[in-house]
Chains A and B, each alone.
Chain A
Amino acid sequence: MTDDRISLNLRTLDKSRQAQVTLPIDYTVAELLEASRQNWKLSPDTDYLVRSERLGRQLASRDMVGSCGLVAGDVLEVVPLLEAGA
Chain B
Amino acid sequence: MTSEGLGFQLPAHDRFDRQRAIAWWNQDKLAGTVAMVAGCGALGNEVAKNLALLGVGTLILVDFDRIEISNLARSVLFGPSDLGRPKAEVLAERLAEIFPAGRMIPVVGDLWCDLGLGLLRRSDLVFGCLDSVNARFILNRMALRAGTPWLNGGLGMAACQVSFHHPVGGACYECQATPGMIKRFSERYSCAGLLRMPGNQPVPLTVVPAALCASLMVQEALLFWHERAGGLLPGQRLTAQLAPYRFVVDDLPHDPECCAHGVIDAVELAGDPSQVTAADLLGGKAGTLELGFDLVLSLNCRHCGPATILRPRSKVPLEELWCPDCGSMRSAKWVSDISDKMELATYPLQDLGVPEHHIVRVITVETIRNIELAGSLW
Contacts and interface: CB of A to CB of B under 8 A. Distances in A.
Interface of A: 13-15, 30, 33, 45, 47, 49, 51, 56-61, 63, 77, 79-86
Given A82-B161, A86-B41, A86-B42, A13 B248 contact: yes
Contacts of A82: 154-156, 159-161, 239
B253 interface: yes
A58 B131 contact: no
Contacts of A15: 244
A14 B243 contact: yes
Contacts of A58: 176, 237, 250-253
Interface of B: 39, 41-44, 65, 71, 128-133, 153-156, 159-161, 176, 178-181, 201, 203, 205, 210, 237, 239, 241, 243-244, 246, 248-253, 255
Contacts of A14: 241, 243-244
Contact of B41 (A57, A60, A61, A85): A85
Secondary structure of the B contact surface, majority rule: mixed
Contact of B250 (A57, A84, A85): A57
Contacts of B250: 51, 56-58, 79
Contacts of B205: 84
A80 to B, nearest CB: 6
B241 A85 contact: no
Contacts of A13: 159, 239, 241, 246, 248
Contacts of A51: 248, 250
Contacts of B133: 47, 81, 83
B127 to A, nearest CB: 10
Given A13-B246, A58-B176, A85 B130 contact: yes
B153 A86 contact: no
Contacts of B44: 85-86
Contacts of B249: 56
B243 to A, nearest CB: 7
B253 A85 contact: no
A83 B160 CA distance: 9
B178 A30 contact: yes
Given A57-B252, A85-B39, A86-B131, A49 B159 contact: no
Closest 4 CB pairs of A and B: A86-B41, A82-B154, A60-B253, A57-B251
